[in-house]
Structure 1
Amino acid sequence: MTTTPGAADWRAANLANWDERVPIHTAGSFYDLPAFVAGRNTLRDFELSEVGDVAGKTLLHLQCHIGLDTLSWSRRGATVTGLDFSAVAVKAANGLAAQVDATTARFVTADVYDAVQALGGQRFDIVYTGFGALCWLGDIARWARTAAALVAEGGFLYLAEYHPVADLLGDDGATVENDYFHRDPIVVDAPGTYADASAPMAATVTVEWRHGIGDVVSALTAAGLRIEFLHEHDHSHFRLPAGKGIPQVYSLRAAKTA
C-alpha cells in the first residue's frame, strides 16, 4: 500500500484499467450479456422496492460502466442517462441499448465530477449510484455536491453500495484484514478483474479509497440532501455469500426538498 503522486496519475491509471476491463466483462460469464439481452434484470429486489415506481421519471446513473443497471431501469419505464468516464464502456453500453431497443436511454462519457457540465445542467428525478462505485472516488464531499446538484427539486439520490465492514474481511468472511478508518489512497497492482481474476491485462495498477458510512451520510447532508433512510443488508457480496451475520451492502435515499 502506497500513496499516489497526484490526481492526474490515479485517474489515468484507473481509466486505463477500466478501459481494459470492458471487453473482458462483455465477453465473460459474470455479466452474462446474452441473458441480459434476453430480458434478465440486474437490479436487486431491495433496490426495486426502495426506489419505487420509476415509470415516466428521469433517472441518471452515475458511474454506469457498461449500462446493465441503467438499462434495467429503462425497462421499468424510466428515461435514463448513464454516465461513465470510460469511452470504451459507453460504447459498449450504447451497443447494448441498441440491442434491447432502449429508445429512451442515452450514455455520456464524462468524469463523475464533471457531470453537471457534461449534462448541460439537466436535473433528474432520480440520481442512482450502484455497487462498487464510491471506492474509485477520492473526494466523497465533491461527489455528494455533484450528485445533489443533479437532483431535481422533489427528487432524490439513491445509493446501493458494498458495506465498508464487509470490505474489511478476507475471503473467509471472518478474518479482519483491513482498517476501517484508513482514508489514504490504496494502490493495488493485480491482474484480472472481479469478473475474471485470470484475465490478462496490461494496465494492472488501480487506486481506490475507503469511505465509511459516516463519511457518505455527512457528505450528503452537507450538500443539502435529507436522508430518508439508511438500510443495511445481509445480501451477498461479490466475494462473500449471504448468511455471515454481518452487513454486506447498504442502501440509502436522500431527498432534495425546496
Structure 2
Amino acid sequence: MHSIEETFNRISQEGGTALIPFLTVGDPDKETTLEIIQQLEQAGADILELGVPYSDPLADGPVIQRASARALEQLVTVRTCLDVAKQSRENGVQMPFVLFTYYNPVLQMGLDQFFEQAKESGIGGLIIPDVPHEESSELLERADAAGIALLPLVAPTSSERIERILNNGRGFVYCVSSLGVTGERASFHEGVDAFIQDVKSRTSLPVAVGFGISSREQVERFSEFCDGVVVGSAIVRTIESLIPDLMNANRREDALLQIRKFVAELKV
C-alpha cells in the first residue's frame, strides 16, 4: 500500500501529475465498485477518492447526487465504504485511498469506531467538506493519531482564511476550481489560475485541483501548474451510462473495460 506522500514524491520525480479519480461507493453496487477500483488502478490512477453516499450532499452536483441515491438504495453506509477499501487492499490494490464523506455519517458511526476502522481499511486521506476549518481541531487530532491525512479544502472564496487552513494541512491541498457544486464544466472561475498559484506559493504540500474537470484537455491544462487533478462527475456519469451493461453478465466485462479506457485517456 502506497502513501499519499510517497505517491506524490514518485510522480514529482517522474515529472508527472497525479490522476485522482472519484467514484461513489456502491454505485451501482458494492461488487461492481470493487471491480471498478481495480480497473481504475490498471488505467493509471494514482490516488482514488472514495465517495460515501449521502442523502444531502451539499457540495455535489446532479450526477453525483444520482449516484448517491442509487448507492443508498443498496443500503450502502460509511461502514460499507470502509469495507470496500479493506477488500480492495486484500485484492491487491496499492494506490492511496482518500475517503470523501460528510460529517453526519462519521458522527453516526462514532468517531472512535470510524477512525479505528478507517485505519484498518487502509484509508490514507480524508475530506469532510461540511466541517469548517475553524471547527476541525478534534477531527485533525484523531486523524493524526490514526495516521490519516485530513486534507485541506480551499476555494477561491476562502481568501483570508487560506493561510490558516494551509497551516494545518496534511497530505495534499484540494483546490476547488469552480464556485458551486461538483459537475462537468466547459469553463472555470475567472481567477482560478491565479488562485491556485497563490495557494502553491503558501504551502510545501502538493496541490491538486478538482470540481468540474472532465476531459483530457482540461487535465492537461491544469497539469501545467498543479501536482494532481481530480476527475469526478465525468467518471461517475460514465459509470451511470453503463449500468445496464454492468448488470448484464454477458456485457459486464466490456463495460468495465470501457470505464478503464475512459480513465486511461485522462492520464497525462
TM range (shorter): 0.3 to 0.5
Structure number with the bigger relative contact order (C-alpha 8 A, sep ≥ 6) is 2
Q: Report the TM-score, using the length of structure 2 for normalisation.
A: 0.35
Q: Report the TM-score, using the length of structure 1 for normalisation.
A: 0.35
User: Which has more helix, going by share of residues?
Assistant: 2
